[in-house]
Structure 1
Amino acid sequence: MDDSPQPLPADQFDALLEDDSHEEAVASLEWVATADAETRKTALRALRTGAETNPGGFKPVLSALTPFLTDEERSVRLTTAKLFVTAAETEPEAVSSLVPALAARLADEDEFYYVRARSAEALGYVALEEPDTVASPEVLADLRIGLSFDEPEVREKLAKALEYLALADQRRLRYHVSDLTRHLDDSNELVRYHLCTALVAIGCAYPDAVSERTAALADRLDDESHFVRGRAAEAFGLLARSDSAVSVPDVTRAVESDVSSNADDEGERFLRDRVRFATDASGEESTDTGSGGIGTIEGIRDRTDEVVDAITSPDGDECPHCGQSLPKAGPPICPRCGGPR
């Protein structure tokens, strides 16, 4: 009779974690790693569902999931990377020991691009809380270089990781401002938003570093996105308040292109608040930050996820398989379940 550990349904696996039966949970994962492909895929999908409802509970067994990042089945690798994203978003310190494995997936040019994208996203969440763990020269190079060559979905996560790293430790990227500004005209709105936000974060601490590369930033004042224009205006508001010898453009052009003036529109409010922040810089209280934490690291961190939701939600669709909200111009497959749109 076979008494070896067997893969458990998600609810029973969760029960083991709740009972601190970590050895049994790890033994089950080790068995799954040696099972057939269909069993591995089914088990990992169930585990990911459990991680979404109880991400903190997976902390003791995360290292046992690392082998699945190099599984021969790309769906298994993708599900594992997504699980690590879920864990890193809520328990970044629990994923910090897995940074080398995630960085290896990011660096593998032959890896499925969605796996690379999710690995970059997980690294970004860790970087937001533990920048020293992520910001090796090799990882930084992979994040920056990938902005030139990768698929749009990967570039989006690379830019997000760079933004989070800039928010956590501005000095890490102050010498790489030229690399960020070089991609401010990316076709992906989220790439432009994340990179502009990273530049604002750097400008909070090192305005001189940003003042040397303002041409591309000034072009974003005409961006089609209210949020990108708003961040560009915020950056110039910071430069105007600094001692940098830089000519600040007329940021009011960022709002002159709007035919509507809908005060209830979130994007327009975001933009107008930051244009006001920039134009007020010449006043008597020019050293003050704007209302709502505009021009501060804390203010950016508080709002950036909210802004991303606003960018991705309007005019979107729902995945017919899992109900995930999808942007109108998003990828052909659902990033959550992998099903076709």
Structure 2
Amino acid sequence: MDDSASPPTTRDLRAHLDAGAFDAIRKALERYRRGASDERQAALRALTAVAEDDPERLGPLVDALEPFLVDDDRAVRLLSAKLLVTLADVAPTDVLAVVPALAERLADESEFYYVRARSAEALGYVAREAPEAVATPDVVADLCVGLAFDEPAVREKLATALECIALGDPSRLRHQTETLAAHLDDDAELVRYHLSTAATVVACVHPEAVCSHRDALVERLGDGSPYVRGRAAEALGVLTRADGVSAPAPPALETVRDDEAAFAATRARFALGDADAGEAVGTVAGVRETTDDAVADITAPDAACPNCGVDLPDPGPPTCPNCGVPRGPPGPP
């Protein structure tokens, strides 16, 4: 039997990476493509583990990952898309070579929805740094249309991508503000947050494009999320201060100014003209600096086991699934 045609072990794959033997890795990936699905999945998991520690090591290999995005096995397609998300978040320009392939996965309505979600996320991260390579009319249209029809997990990633496009080049969304406003009441907090953030960024550069949808922002001042309330207040403050538009501060901002959440209260003070709101509030740079922390807080686990520290959902099981210790009395309904 000729072992040279068989895929290498994942240990060999890591050894090639450690040695910088990219030609050997490319040949190995070609053999994986001809091998069994579980072998391809194992290889992609091994590469993802490397990418999580040092994503730039995989930069020279990104184009070799493209065939895995159209693999017959959807698990392989999903793992490859997740790997590209990891790379794009840290080294977005390294992923430029596979932007067309990711856009095809996003546009394919028959594709597994998690693959579409991860493809949108990867495209968004690239768009933050290279919007001209990603934010074509077709891609923007696919992202916007999906907000009305896709699963919640997909909508969150579509909204993420739209926020990223806005941060990369607000002008790319100046004609999509009606869509952003129409979905500011989405059931998912992350969707509302990302879209209100995108609207805020667009307002910083094109206030006239957002001003006609001011009512949707005013409504978000009563949102259950302090981060959505804060972004809505920030966008309204940008409109209030902008030249050439008529957008007086709504009375509801007075309530948000006394918000228990500093994120919301600071931005309401900005909208009401207070001088202590901070120079970065109401700017594209300021939004860019604060959005990752906001998302991290929104997605943080609800609770941790008092015994072993494992993250627990709320509501959740009465005992910790990891150590079996009771989690304590439930909170108020």
Q: TM range, normalised to the smaller chain?
A: 0.7 to 0.9
- Counterpart among 265, 269, 273 of residue 272 in structure 1: 265
Change (3 A) 1:48 1:118: same
Distance 2:6 2:55 in 1: 22
Distance 2:263 2:6 in 1: 52
- Map 1:147-166; keep pairs closer than 5 Å: 147-166=147-166
What 5-or-longer segments of structure 2 have no aligned partner? 317-333
Displacement after TM superposition at 1:113 (Å): 0.8
Counterpart residue number, 2:108: 108
Change (3 A) 1:327 1:11: farther
Counterpart residue number, 2:323: none
Counterpart residue number, 1:222: 222
Moved more, 43-52 or 66-75: 43-52
Distance 2:301 2:273 in 1: 31
Distance 1:58 1:87 in 2: 8
SS of 1:239's partner is: helix
What percentage of aligned pairs have identical amino acids?
Answer: 49
- Structure 1, residues 175-195: CA drift from partner, whole Å, max 9, x if none? 110011000000000000000
Count of aligned positions: 310
Q: Is 2:207 the partner of 1:196?
A: no
- Structure 1, residues 83-108: CA drift from partner, whole Å, max 9, x if none? 00001011111101111100111111
Q: Is the 2:236–2:249 contact (alpha carbons within 8 Å) kept by the matching residues of 1?
A: yes
Counterpart residue number, 2:291: 304
Distance 1:279 1:235 in 2: 12
Q: Is the 1:5–1:28 contact (alpha carbons within 8 Å) kept by the matching residues of 2?
A: no
Distance 2:68 2:74 in 1: 10
- Map 1:1-341; keep pairs closer than 5 Å: 1-4=1-4, 6-243=6-243, 244-250=245-251, 251-254=253-256, 261=260, 268-280=261-273, 290-291=277-278, 293-315=280-302
Displacement after TM superposition at 1:215 (Å): 1.0
Distance 1:67 1:58 in 2: 16
SS of 1:110's partner is: coil
Q: Is the 1:222–1:253 contact (alpha carbons within 8 Å) kept by the matching residues of 2?
A: no
Displacement after TM superposition at 1:253 (Å): 2.7
SS of 1:40's partner is: helix
Counterpart residue number, 1:337: none
Q: Is the 1:128–1:164 contact (alpha carbons within 8 Å) kept by the matching residues of 2?
A: yes
Displacement after TM superposition at 1:317 (Å): 7.1
SS of 1:293's partner is: coil
SS of 1:111's partner is: coil
Change (3 A) 1:87 1:5: farther
SS of 2:272's partner is: helix
Q: Is the 2:10–2:42 contact (alpha carbons within 8 Å) kept by the matching residues of 1?
A: no
Paired letter, 1:302: E
Aligned-residue CA RMSD in angstroms? 2.1
